[in-house]
Structure formats: C-alpha cells, structure tokens
Amino acid sequence: MKILRYIGTFALLATLAACSMEEEQVNVAGNEVIVKATIGGESIFTRSYPAGDAEGQKQFADYSQIGICQNGGDARKFELKNSVWEIKDSKGPMKWETDAPVFKAFYPYTSYSSGVNSYDKGYIDQNQTKEDFLARSDYMTATKTYTTIPENRQLDLTFERKTARVVVNITASSFTNEFTNLNLNDVYVFSQTNIPATPVGDVKEITAYHDGYGVNGKPWIALVAPNAADADKNFIGVKVYSDEYGEYGKMLYVKGIPNLEAGKSYTYNLKIGKERATIENVEVADWTTGSTIPGGAVSAITVEGIKESVTTQLKKGNDVVLTLNSNASSDIFDAIKTAIKDKSVADGSVNLTLKGVETISEESFKEVTWLNKVTLPDAVTIGKYAFSGSSLKGIEAPNVSTVKMQAFDQCKSLENVNLPKVSEIGIKAFCSCSNLKTVLLGSLTKVGTGSEDNEDGIFESVITQDVSLILSSSQSMLTLDISAEGNFFWIPINLPYKGSSQHLDEKKFLGYEFKSIKCGDKISPE
C-alpha cells in the first residue's frame, strides 16, 4: 500500500470537495509542492527500526527530517510534527521553480553525531544502540525529473537505501559446551562511516542495536556502508562473559569485512567457542521491500478542510466519503462530528465511509445520533467505546482484526455487523445491542468476558436467539481461560468448531445460543 506524504505548510486550503461519492479531491492554493515518497517503489518511506513489534514500526517519530533540492539549489529542510511535514527554514514553502524541474532528496537531514547529510554524501553513526540511533543512520536518496509541472503539484519520489543492514543472530545454541554461567552484553559491527565508502576509508566500531541483554534469541542489528570490503579488518566483535573468562569477559572477532550491497539485509548466524567466533551461515534478503513496515500516513487534510468537505458532500446527500491519514487524530474525528452536527441532518441518516485510517480511536463516535452505516475499508482496530451509544445501524469493516471493549456498547439500532477478519474482541463489545440481526465474524482467537459464568461477555444483554451468526470455516472450538492478571478469555483449543455438536445441534458459541450459526458451508437449522 502506498501512502501519500505531504510536505509544506499550506497557506490556504481552497477547496476540499468530493469529486464523486467514492473519492475526494484536494485542491491546493498557490504553487506549493506536495510529496509522495516511497522506498524502492514498494515499501512506504519509513524510518529504520527493523526489530520490535509491528505496531511500533508503523510510525514516523515527530521531528524526523528530510532534505529536498530543486534544480541544483540548496537543500530545503522539512520536519514531521503532528503528522504533517513542515518547512523548517526561513525561505517559506517550497514552490515549483520551473516548467521542467529536477528534484533530489535525502533522508535523514542530519546524522547527528557524524555530520549533515546531503544528496551526494551520507553518514553512519557509531552508536546504534537505540531505536532512534538506528533510524538516523538509515541514509536514503531519491531523484525525480519532470518534463512539465503536474496538475496536482505532486512530487513523486522513490527513495533507495544507500546502506546495508547487518543482522547478527546469536542464541544459546550458538555456543559450544565449553561455557558456564554464560552472558553476552555487546556485539559490534565494523564499517566505514561515510557513504559512499572509499578505498582507504577508516573502519570504525559500530555498537549494534539489541532489544535486551544476554543471550535471549533476539538479534543484534547495525546499518553499515556497502562496497567497503576489507579482508584484513575485523567485521564482527562479540563480548562474551563466562566463568572461563572472569568478570571482564573476552572479545571474540570474526575477521574479514565482506563486499555488502546497498539495500540488502545480511543475517549472520554465529557459532562461538571458547577461543573464537565463526560464521556458521549467512542469509541474504532484499531489504528495500520486504523487511520494512509502512510508516504512518501523513495527511495535508486539516480540520477546516475536513469540515468543508463534509459540508460540500452533505449538500448532495447523506453519503460522506473521506480519506484520512492512517493515524488520524481525535481532532479529525471531532471535526467530522462537528461538521455533520452543524448541518442538522436527520437522526440515523448519514452513511460514513472513512478510507485510509487504520485505527478508530477511543470514543471517536460515542453517542452520535446521526449515524446510519459506517464503512471502514482500511481500518484494523476499533477502539474502546468507539461507537458506544450511537445510532449506528450497520458496520462494514473488512480488514479489522481487533475490536476493543464496549466498542458498540448500547448501539440499540445496530442490526448488521460485518467483520470478516476480526480475531480479538474485548468484553461487552456488543453489549445491549438489542436489535442485532446478523453478525459476521472472522476466526476468533481471543474474546473477553467478565467471569467464568460469562458475565459481561461480548453479547451481554443481547437476545442472541434472534441473531444469525456467521463464522469462518477455520474457527476453532473455544474454551474459557483465566490470565495471570485475573481476566477471563475465550481461547482456542485444537478442535474444529465446524460440524461440532455446539455448531449443528446446540447452536451455541461463546456460551450463547443463536438463531442459526453458519460456519463455512454448514449452517445450523433455525
């Protein structure tokens, strides 16, 4: 998925109107540059954090900076703040200078400890021990030439990584049986710190990133200069502590820097003995596409722009279609609610489609009275109380995997629920949805409830005997379990639900009896 990146502070958003009921068009005043930036044409332009959970990798951090040069001029600095790229020099917004401009861009603007990057030269930091430190060494460049200025004033940049990634994989099984009371605190990767590397460049010690200490199965990661082979220099250093070495430990080295390629990821699996460390095997992958996770979307849509777009669409009918940034803020949701409320639409009349947004945040549409149907084509999470107490009649969210507690609590008009990929649902998610008729769910793996008696389950105070339930054909049987924190959950056991007695005879699921339950091609009788 490609996500628009917008750079510049907009002096005026002239019109934000629907070009059809399916899509929006943003008209930008003046001659300012709008940017769409990707890595390798596939991955979203992102910061470098190749370890950790997926959610933590999705966002740019505030104050990330890039530089863009136009027609050989000086680099203009842009900084991310509150999901918008803002110009950070005294020259004002970037404008299209000629009819056929040439753009050159680089990321990050500054490497901090080594120096200021440019399109022609980048720097690698020796200290890469933290997420932010790793990110600032992820040097990338992009070029784009235009024969004419595009009508939408959009600058399309495809960034290419100029570093190589080295992953050092060390686990307990990496060590021979020569060690007792083993510990491992530091791993170093040796590299030149200038890009491009030079034949006579100095090789320096880079302290690699690692999530934790000791031997815990998590890899060490460093970004290094490619095309800098040196058979006589150390490549990887490992600091080993054990009874055999005493309290000061011992450094073991792998000698010989290989000729690494930019945009490639190299995983070195080590074998460590008392006197030496050796490379057992190496895995090579394309880092430019498959190994990064998209960054958070950045939108030029402002609060006022949202309000104007809603107003324009409501003049044509009660269908409102908006494209938002993936991590849309509460201000954006508030703008939507305010604009619709100001138009004094009839209760339960608005069909709202929100494209692009990945998370519907907590209480986003709590107790609104104008909702009829909501469509969320790109959302993956619906937060706590997101629609609780609203007039919502139908929800269509084909990619949602998580529904938080009480997300639809007290939605007394809710009839149809379509969540074909949902796997986790919090307690009382559909509590008191007294008018439910059809509920389609994915293959559930974790469903909250309040007690071993299923109090405060997801269908608390719902007459489920009036509800037709549709489940994935891969749904497993679920059983109640209690977590270490004392919370109760329905979790899977290794038995198929489809065709079971609960499915066909009892018409029961999650402790509730339903009007009918369809699971794949099998349906219980009504």
For residue 233, pLDDT over 50 is answered with yes
Per-residue confidence band for 210, with pLDDT thresholds at 50, 70 and 90? confident
Per-residue confidence band for 512, with pLDDT thresholds at 50, 70 and 90? very high
In terms of pLDDT, which residue wins out, 58 or 241? Answer: 241
Instruction: State the DSSP code for 389.
Output: T
Q: What is the pLDDT of residues 268-286, one digit of tens each?
A: 888 888 888 888 888 887 7
Give the pLDDT score at 62.
Answer: 63
| % of the chain at pLDDT higher than 90 | 44
Per-residue confidence band for 395, with pLDDT thresholds at 50, 70 and 90? very high
In terms of pLDDT, which residue wins out, 453 or 131? Answer: 453
Give the pLDDT score at 113.
Answer: 61
Q: What is the mean pLDDT of residues 388-398?
A: 96
Q: What is the mean pLDDT of residues 481-510?
A: 91
Give the pLDDT score at 118.
Answer: 94
User: CA 159 to CA 45: how far, in whole Å?
Assistant: 7
Exposure string over 11-23, b if 16+ CB within 10 A, otherwise e: eebeebbbeeeee
For residue 498, pLDDT over 70 is answered with yes
For residue 29, pLDDT over 70 is answered with no
Q: What is the pLDDT of residues 283-326, one digit of tens each?
A: 887 765 332 222 222 233 567 778 878 888 888 889 998 877 66
pLDDT, the chain, mean: 81
CB atoms within 10 A of CB 330: 11
With a CB cutoff of 8 Å and minimum separation 6, the contacts of 74 are none
In terms of pLDDT, which residue wins out, 218 or 517? Answer: 517
Quote the tokens at residue 22.
Answer: 């399916």
Give the pLDDT score at 336.
Answer: 93
- Residue in the structure block whose two tokens are 């040796």: 190
Q: What is the pLDDT of residues 178-189, one digit of tens each?
A: 777 777 878 999
Give the pLDDT score at 158.
Answer: 76
CB 9 within 8 A of CB 93: yes
For residue 52, pLDDT over 60 is answered with no
Q: What is the mean pLDDT of residues 156-161?
A: 78
Strand 371-375 relative to strand 394-396: parallel, antiparallel, unpaired?
A: parallel
Per-residue confidence band for 170, with pLDDT thresholds at 50, 70 and 90? confident
Nearest to 390 by CA among 414, 359, 406, 424: 414
Give the pLDDT score at 51.
Answer: 47
Q: Which range, 38-52, 86-100, 337-351, 390-404, has the best average confidence (pLDDT)?
A: 390-404
Give the pLDDT score at 287.
Answer: 66
Least confident of 159-173, 243-257, 289-303, 308-322: 289-303
Nearest to 220 by CA among 190, 247, 253, 187: 187
Helix (H, G, I), strand (E, B) or coil at 231: strand
Give the pLDDT score at 514.
Answer: 96
Nearest to 309 by CA among 336, 341, 329: 336
Give the pLDDT score at 291.
Answer: 29
Give the pLDDT score at 390.
Answer: 96
Strand 65-70 relative to strand 76-81: parallel, antiparallel, unpaired?
A: antiparallel
- Residue in the structure block whose two tokens are 């008392």: 274
| % of the chain at pLDDT higher than 70 | 81
Per-residue confidence band for 459, with pLDDT thresholds at 50, 70 and 90? very high
For residue 54, pLDDT over 90 is answered with no
Give the pLDDT score at 235.
Answer: 96
What pTM, to 2 d.p., does this model score? Answer: 0.50
Domains 13-161 and 164-286 share a fold: yes
For residue 216, pLDDT over 90 is answered with no
Residue 64: C-alpha distances to residues 2, 59, 79, 117, 325 (Å) = 19, 11, 6, 14, 17
Q: What is the pLDDT of residues 93-134, one digit of tens each?
A: 888 888 899 999 898 888 766 678 999 999 999 998 887 788
For residue 473, pLDDT over 80 is answered with yes
- Residue in the structure block whose two tokens are 């109760």: 488
For the chain, the domains span 13-161, 164-286, 346-523
Q: Is the peptide bond before 496 cis (omega within 30 degrees of 0)?
A: no
Q: What is the mean pLDDT of residues 133-158?
A: 84
State whether CATH 3.50.50 applies to domain 13-161: no
In terms of pLDDT, which residue wins out, 451 or 509? Answer: 509
What is the CATH architecture assignment of 164-286? Sandwich (2.60)
For residue 58, pLDDT over 70 is answered with no
Give the pLDDT score at 213.
Answer: 58
